């Protein structure tokens, strides 16, 4: 659908952004998650939306402020907040994403939380996962997980993990004991400085 036709559904107050999905967005056919039966789904193609609430959301080259859905599929799209039962991001990004099952493929997220998370050439700043599987290297700022399995390296600044299985190296700047020791050392320095400043002033 051409972008010239969408102007009638956008008001000046919205500044070019949809606050709700309009009626002229075409329906497409998607497979439901559990039983793989076909179901109708609203589709965003080269559009921006405000808040989207639906059972199934499919986005391509689009953006949204907030998405609440059972199933989300994003291709070359972005969202500020994403909450779903299952989410698949392909060359997409999200500031905050949470799902029971999440697949990030060539994508990025600032904060990602899932019971089952699979990464492929993706980056996450803060990840919280029950189980994490990576097809290539895992690069995460802070990782909290029950288990992580990677075919490549596992790199994290801070990592709290139960089982770690890696085909390559595991490189962690701070694990639980070293993070505790660093915090205790920092607190001790602050206490000593406070005592010194009291004597001087």
pLDDT at 153: 87
3-state secondary structure at position 134: strand
pLDDT at 2: 41
Q: Where are the domains of the chain?
A: 1-89, 122-201
Query: Which parts of the chain register pLDDT below 50?
Result: 1-22, 24, 29, 34
pLDDT at 48: 65
pLDDT at 100: 96
Q: For residue 148, how far is the Cα from the chain centroid?
A: 17
Which token pair is 127? Answer: 């990840």
pLDDT at 71: 93
Residues contacting residue 196 through CB under 8 Å, at least 6 positions apart: none
pLDDT at 19: 39
């Amino acid at each position: 659908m051409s972008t010239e036709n969408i102007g009638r559904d956008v008001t000046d107050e919205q500044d070019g952004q949809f606050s709700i999905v309009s009626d002229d967005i075409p329906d497409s056919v998607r497979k439901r998650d559990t039983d793989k039966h076909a179901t109708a789904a609203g589709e965003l193609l080269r559009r921006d939306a405000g808040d989207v609430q639906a059972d199934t959301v499919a986005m391509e080259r689009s953006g949204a402020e907030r998405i609440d859905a059972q199933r989300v599929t994003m291709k070359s799209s972005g969202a500020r907040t994403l909450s779903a039962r299952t989410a698949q991001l392909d060359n997409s990004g999200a500031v905050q994403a949470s799902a029971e099952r999440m697949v990030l493929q060539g994508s990025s997220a600032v904060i990602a939380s899932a019971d089952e998370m699979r990464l492929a050439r993706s980056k996450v700043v803060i990840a919280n996962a029950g189980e994490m599987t990576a097809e290539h290297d895992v690069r995460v700022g802070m990782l909290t997980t029950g288990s992580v399995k990677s075919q490549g390296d596992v790199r994290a600044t801070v990592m709290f993990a139960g089982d770690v299985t890696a085909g390559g190296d595991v490189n962690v700047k701070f694990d639980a004991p070293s993070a505790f020791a660093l915090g205790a050392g920092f607190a001790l320095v602050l206490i000593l400085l406070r005592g010194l400043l009291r004597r001087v002033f």
